[in-house]
A and B are shown apart, each in its own frame.
Chain A
Amino acid sequence: MDFQVVVLAGGASKNLAPLVSEEVPKALLPVANRPVLSYILELLESSNLKDLIIVVEGSDAANRVGGWVSGAYADRLHVEVAEVPEDSGTAGALRAVAHHLTASDILVVSGDLVTDVPPGVVAATHRRHGAVVTALLCDTPISGFSEGGSLGAKDKAKKPARYNIVGLDPTRQFLLLIASGAEVEKDTRVQKSILCSVGQMEIRADLMDAHMYALKRIVLQEVLDQKGTFRSIRQDVLPYLVKTQLRSDVAANESSKVEGLSSTFTSKTNLTWLSQHREIAPSAFHNGHESDANGSLSTTCTHKCCAYIASRSKYCARLNSIQAFIDINRDVVGEANHLSGYSFSAQNNVVHPSAELGSKTTVGPQCMLAEGSRLGDKCSVKRSVIGRHCRIGSNVKIVNSVVMNHVTIEDGCLVQGSIICSNVQLQERCVLKDCQVGAGYVVTSGSEHKSESLAKK
């Protein structure tokens, strides 16, 4: 496939403090004891997309990601790691690597995506329709624990968060409207011309833009060049393309600029686009348009924006918040454990052979215990992930939590719904509920914390 892949790995995202640090950029945050970036890379590899550019914000982060990638994927993928300044935004990141792009279509993927939707289907949809942009949409994940616990019940009562408002044609193939970010909470503005041309628009608030886009390179470069103020693909580029689809500047410019490469594009696309619409929404384009297809429509260019909606059975989530971090870790060792790449035991958990468990210590289902970790007596681990070489004392209870590497948890601690970063020390009888503990932090003995973010100054 003539697709080039750009993975936007981000940098030290502020949303994820205190989990991320200079040592651990967002892309390397562990999900079931693997960097989150590895999920998307392996997915791309399985779709035979091996030519990638990973864009990282910040030089430290870039070095670390580069180091990890070259170590882990040296022989498997052809990866180039590009570094962009921090806060350059997704569009800025693409702008920085634009001169590296040569393929006719570009697949832009967010590095924090954990999914089992093959990128190939998005690419195929993109190609099939000759679209300018194709976005992967998935169901909005329901955050919080889906089972058990008072905490879970509370979260379930809440309505699922809304990330995007999406307008689709009746066949759900074309993207007619997208609102994201702050726009979601405002009144939705629908362009009448688009509504008129399809007749019926389904507006959904329960879909999420998964940040996997297939884009036509020429159009992408065009837009990035012309719209210097565009910072984000999600908030600027995609809405722009969607909104101008019936009156395309990009298609017009493109045809004049690149005649050889996409001679089929402008002239034919208009017609196929129309005919496709007519096929699917027969009432949408009538004789009036048909006769115009030869005449007046050649002056107004159209381009297509498509959507691929992942089926409900597919897993699709983005690690872009602390809650998402817990959720994804839970899911990857739980209901979506095929993603983790580990083989689960009969008890539906993964306990590394080198891990040591004390007497009367139980590790429940949907748990993961990585190599070299040691648990004392009478411990209980439920629905949690414990990293490498952790030292855990006796009578420790760990529920719904993520414990990273080299963590020391002393006797009698209770850890619930929390994230414990690497090299943290929890002294005796600590109680942590819904907390995040930054790397290297020491929680003093006997202290109790609830819904706090603890990090070294």
Chain B
Amino acid sequence: MAQKKVARSASSDDPEELARVPLQAVLLADSFATKFRPITLERPKVLLPLVNVPMIEYTLAWLESVGVEEVFVFCCAHSSQVKDYLNKSQWTKHPSTFSVTPIESHDAISAGDALRVIYNRGVVRGDFILVSGDTVSNMSLTQALQEHKERRKKDPLVVMTMVIKHAKPSSTTFLQTRLGNDEIIMGIHPETKELLYYEDKADHSQRVLSLDRTLLTENPALCLHIDKQDCFIDICSPEVLSLFTDNFDYQHLRRHFVKGLLVDDIMGYKIFTYETHSSYAARVDNFRSYDTISKDIIQRWTYPFVPDVQYFGFGSQIRFERQGIYRAPDVILSSSAQIGAFSFVGHGTTIGDHSIISKSVIGQRCIIGRNVVIESSYIWDNVTIEDGCKLTHALVCDGVHLRAGVVLEPGAILSFKVEVGQKLVIPAYSKVSVLPQPCKQDSDEELEYADTTSGVVESPSITSVLNAQNQDLMSDTVDATDSDPTEVGISGVGYIWSVCEGEHDEEWRFSIAPIPKEKLEKFSRGSPDDYDVINQDECGIPPYGELPPDSDGTEFDGGDGEDYHDSADFEKEVEATFLRALTGVNEENVILEINSLRLSCNMSHSDCAGALFHAIMKSALAIPYSNNRELLENTVKEIKTWKNLLKNYLRSQDEEIEILLKFEEICLETTKEFRPLFSSILSQLYDMDILTEDAILSWAKEKEGADESDKIFVKQAEPFIMWLKEASEEEDEDEDEDEDE
């Protein structure tokens, strides 16, 4: 706090001192996201080539052009790669007016952590520009900086100026911007341009946006924008760093920090916006924006940051030819090959006869065979594409080898060194990597990167094995079901990553591939329901994937969990857990898992007991039987086997009654096979000490007042209950005898 005050007085009282502070920038060379996986498992995102140049180059070149003198590159995931790159690059070689200093951290998991690290280093002295290393821009910041400084002179509570830009029209409504971001709704003061409202994680099912009334009591007018794009270029005051340090729960720059400041009316910090009109500013946030921005670069919107301008020791000359074709001079192009408009072909690439390339970027030293069709795709360096391959809207990383006849369907991503066997069709939106898919964890890139060796998937959806060694088929139960497994990937290397179910619907949104027609139609039709009907349960529920077996249930947390983790889901989970117990998992572990499930779903013991009982009965039913007698025997055997497991949850009479009710439900609804066996199984349950007589009697009592239809089983079990009643009278005299009978 003390530091903050000093900084503030320095900046507001002494403009001359402020002027002496060189303009600094903090560049986050880690996106703290997993959108570029699996590629980012092997290389940090900022070093991924964007039209043949690593993204960070664009950002650094732009920072230099706007007059930044010191850049602190915060690297976390693959920090050594980033540092090596910087050391080799020209940025560190000529430390004249533009210095680049890497700051390394290994435990940062969010932008918030990064800024806290930077704060602790104490390197930032004045206003600074905060960008991520995937920003492509050619805008001038002079005016934005000036506006920021003027505002700060008047009001020291102004901490940030966000650069925004009018979103380019996309092929559909704003629900889907061309950069594939989530829609962002911003409320901006029409005159002062103060940011008053920011919502980026908009719930698509929510058809009504609720503005807090205080927003409008304090401001007579407010402009709600859905047509603005957040460029993720922020001019920050030094307070931003201390704010992050004070609020250690701030993780995400927008979701936590910006929103946090907007709702916090005690401190009164203010955020303003600056809209850039003619210049370019965008961030490569996902594959779709990668595609869009690549095309923008090729179409020269980002001038001077285009391939043919030598702005940063960019190898030798790239020629810019008509129709927006960029070609290195040493490309070996067959005379019958065609390169269509808006394409880039890098150094040393060979293109064979009759190959057609359009709207694509091909990196260096690639070998492209004959009759290859490449459309709107991105081929990085040292890629070999054999004859007759067909690539549409695909991304192919360094060292990939596509054997003859491979077809990449739209949206396919092939990570480093993947090899695809002959005539294989890689289905749309699939991601292929030589690394197996790590288990799902909602942490950051970096952590998962560290985990990849240990956290190798146990997930049932990945059944493929490393093909390099055993020449096995590269198949995947989920994604490749439609392609004939015998044909898949002879001599291929790689895993097809499964799409976690929750994201499956969203996959098209972020993909390189254009948005499918049906989705467009869905959007343009978009059913704005009656104004007061917010149909949340209709589409607000993300498809809920099977919980990975080794998950500790973290996916259940979050406030919106309650809605869909109802008992049915819970039951399924328990059943899945139980099924694995059948396959030989230690009983204790099963208990542990069910317990954690119970806690995370906020279920009671009786729910557990019921669900478990259901699972046991189901497994009993699964054993083949020829008549009721066998079924009964099977069931009894099954129950006996899992008696201890079940008993674990039978803490009181309530749970036992729950089991009874469950049993009734099973007989009535799901598996009618048990119907005639109800009373026999009941007596067996009693014999096995699973159900006590008190429970059974009180169940019978409860049912007395019920409908006739509800009483079928009570009636069926009547003789047994009668017997129990009689027995209980004798109980006082001799308890043990009952059991012997």
Q: Which residues of A contact B (CB under 8 A)?
A: 159, 162, 165, 167, 185-197, 199-206, 243-244, 246-247, 281-289, 292, 296, 300
Check B222 for interface membership: any CB of A closer than 8 A. yes
Select from chain A the residue with minimum beta-carbon distance to B216. Answer: A205
Contact partner of A244 among B190, B207, B531, CB < 8 A?
A: B531
Q: List 12 A-B residue pairs with CB atoms under 8 Å apart, sorted by A's residue number.
A: A162-B216, A167-B224, A188-B211, A189-B208, A191-B209, A193-B207, A193-B528, A202-B222, A202-B223, A203-B224, A289-B173, A292-B521
How far apart are B201's CB and chain A's nearest CB, in angstroms? 14
Q: Which of A190, A197, A287, A300 has the most CB of B within 10 A?
A: A190
Contact between B211 and A203, CB atoms less than 8 A apart: yes
Distance, CA A167 to CA B211, complexed state (A): 12
- Interface majority SS on A: helix, strand, loop or mixed? mixed
Contact partner of A200 among B209, B220, B227, B530, CB < 8 A?
A: B227
Contact between B213 and A188, CB atoms less than 8 A apart: yes
On chain B, the residues within 8 Å of A159 by CB distance are: 217
Contact between A200 and B225, CB atoms less than 8 A apart: yes
Contact between B173 and A206, CB atoms less than 8 A apart: no
Distance, CA A178 to CA B529, complexed state (A): 18
Check B668 for interface membership: any CB of A closer than 8 A. no
Chain B, range 167-215, C-beta contacts under 8 Å to A: 167-175, 183, 185, 187, 190, 202, 206-213, 215
Q: Which residues of B contact A (CB under 8 A)?
A: 166-175, 183, 185, 187, 190, 202, 206-213, 215-217, 219-228, 520-521, 523-526, 528-531
Distance, CA A279 to CA B224, complexed state (A): 19
Contact partner of B175 among A167, A196, A200, A285, CB < 8 A?
A: A196
Contact between B217 and A195, CB atoms less than 8 A apart: no
Distance, CA A285 to CA B524, complexed state (A): 9
On chain A, the residues within 8 Å of B529 by CB distance are: 247
On chain B, the residues within 8 Å of A284 by CB distance are: 227
How far apart are B251's CB and chain A's nearest CB, in angstroms? 27
Q: Take A190-B211, A192-B208, A292-B524 as given contacts and tell me if A205 and B225 are in contact as well, using a CB distance cutoff of 8 Å.
A: no
Distance, CA A247 to CA B520, complexed state (A): 19
Select from chain B the residue with minimum beta-carbon distance to A201. Answer: B224
Q: Take A191-B528, A192-B209 as given contacts and tell me if A288 and B216 are in contact as well, using a CB distance cutoff of 8 Å.
A: no
Contact between B169 and A286, CB atoms less than 8 A apart: yes
Select from chain B the residue with minimum beta-carbon distance to A193. Answer: B528
How far apart are A300's CB and chain B's nearest CB, in angstroms? 7
Contact between A203 and B209, CB atoms less than 8 A apart: no
Contact between B171 and A288, CB atoms less than 8 A apart: yes
Contact partner of A190 among B168, B174, B208, CB < 8 A?
A: B208
Contact between A282 and B209, CB atoms less than 8 A apart: no
Q: Which of B168, B217, B220, B228 has the most CB of A within 10 A?
A: B220
Distance, CA A282 to CA B168, complexed state (A): 10
On chain B, the residues within 8 Å of A190 by CB distance are: 208-211, 224
Select from chain A the residue with minimum beta-carbon distance to B173. Answer: A196
Distance, CA A70 to CA B277, complexed state (A): 61
Q: Take A187-B211, A193-B528, A202-B190 as given contacts and tell me if A288 and B224 are in contact as well, using a CB distance cutoff of 8 Å.
A: no
Contact between B208 and A185, CB atoms less than 8 A apart: no
Contact between A189 and B224, CB atoms less than 8 A apart: no
Which 5 A-B pairs rank lowest in CB-CB distance, beginning with the nearest?
A193-B528, A199-B227, A206-B220, A243-B531, A188-B211
On chain A, the residues within 8 Å of B190 by CB distance are: 202
Select from chain A the residue with minimum beta-carbon distance to B172. Answer: A288
Q: Take A286-B171, A296-B525, A300-B525 as given contacts and tell me if A162 and B217 are in contact as well, using a CB distance cutoff of 8 Å.
A: yes
On chain B, the residues within 8 Å of A243 by CB distance are: 531
How far apart are B448's CB and chain A's nearest CB, in angstroms? 34
Q: Take A162-B217, A288-B172, A288-B523 as given contacts and tell me if A200 and B531 are in contact as well, using a CB distance cutoff of 8 Å.
A: no
How far apart are A92's CB and chain B's nearest CB, in angstroms? 22
On chain B, the residues within 8 Å of A162 by CB distance are: 216-217
Contact between A187 and B213, CB atoms less than 8 A apart: yes
Contact partner of B209 among A186, A189, A197, CB < 8 A?
A: A189
Contact between B174 and A199, CB atoms less than 8 A apart: yes
How far apart are A189's CB and chain B's nearest CB, in angstroms? 5
How far apart are A184's CB and chain B's nearest CB, in angstroms? 8
Contact partner of B206 among A192, A199, A296, CB < 8 A?
A: A192
Q: Which of B175, B183, B217, B227 has the most CB of A within 10 A?
A: B227
Distance, CA A203 to CA B523, complexed state (A): 25
On chain A, the residues within 8 Å of B206 by CB distance are: 192
How far apart are B181's CB and chain A's nearest CB, in angstroms? 15
Distance, CA A283 to CA B165, complexed state (A): 13
Q: Take A196-B173, A199-B226 as given contacts and tell me if A188 and B210 are in contact as well, using a CB distance cutoff of 8 Å.
A: yes
On chain A, the residues within 8 Å of B212 by CB distance are: 187
Contact partner of A195 among B219, B221, B222, B226, CB < 8 A?
A: B226
Select from chain B the residue with minimum beta-carbon distance to A285. Answer: B173
Q: Which of B171, B206, B207, B209 has the most CB of A within 10 A?
A: B209
On chain A, the residues within 8 Å of B211 by CB distance are: 187-190, 203
Distance, CA A192 to CA B175, complexed state (A): 10
On chain B, the residues within 8 Å of A167 by CB distance are: 224
Q: Which of A282, A283, A287, A289 has the most CB of B within 10 A?
A: A283
Distance, CA A395 to CA B159, complexed state (A): 61
Select from chain A the residue with minimum beta-carbon distance to B203. Answer: A192
Distance, CA A254 to CA B730, complexed state (A): 81
Select from chain A the residue with minimum beta-carbon distance to B528. Answer: A193
Contact between A205 and B220, CB atoms less than 8 A apart: yes
Select from chain A the residue with minimum beta-carbon distance to B526. Answer: A193
Contact partner of B217 among A205, A287, A296, CB < 8 A?
A: A205
How far apart are B208's CB and chain A's nearest CB, in angstroms? 5
On chain B, the residues within 8 Å of A246 by CB distance are: 528
Contact between A205 and B221, CB atoms less than 8 A apart: yes
Contact between B173 and A191, CB atoms less than 8 A apart: no
Select from chain A the residue with minimum beta-carbon distance to B188. Answer: A200
Contact between A203 and B531, CB atoms less than 8 A apart: no
Distance, CA A81 to CA B520, complexed state (A): 55
Distance, CA A199 to CA B530, complexed state (A): 20
Given contacts A159-B217, A191-B207, could you give 9 more A-B pairs where the C-beta distance is less than 8 Å?
A191-B531, A192-B206, A195-B185, A196-B226, A205-B220, A247-B530, A284-B227, A286-B171, A300-B525
How far apart are B576's CB and chain A's nearest CB, in angstroms? 37
Contact partner of B213 among A185, A287, A292, CB < 8 A?
A: A185
Contact between A288 and B173, CB atoms less than 8 A apart: yes
How far apart are A357's CB and chain B's nearest CB, in angstroms? 45
On chain A, the residues within 8 Å of B170 by CB distance are: 286
How far apart are B425's CB and chain A's nearest CB, in angstroms? 29
Q: Take A203-B221, A203-B223 as given contacts and tell me if A288 and B520 are in contact as well, using a CB distance cutoff of 8 Å.
A: yes
Distance, CA A282 to CA B227, complexed state (A): 11
Distance, CA A206 to CA B175, complexed state (A): 30
How far apart are B633's CB and chain A's nearest CB, in angstroms? 60
How far apart are B602's CB and chain A's nearest CB, in angstroms? 29
Contact between B220 and A196, CB atoms less than 8 A apart: no
Q: Take A188-B211, A191-B207, A202-B223 as given contacts and tell me if A286 and B173 are in contact as well, using a CB distance cutoff of 8 Å.
A: yes
Contact between A200 and B223, CB atoms less than 8 A apart: yes
On chain A, the residues within 8 Å of B222 by CB distance are: 202-204
On chain B, the residues within 8 Å of A185 by CB distance are: 213
Distance, CA A281 to CA B167, complexed state (A): 12
Q: Take A187-B213, A190-B211 as given contacts and tell me if A287 and B171 are in contact as well, using a CB distance cutoff of 8 Å.
A: yes
Distance, CA A413 to CA B520, complexed state (A): 76
Contact between A202 and B221, CB atoms less than 8 A apart: yes
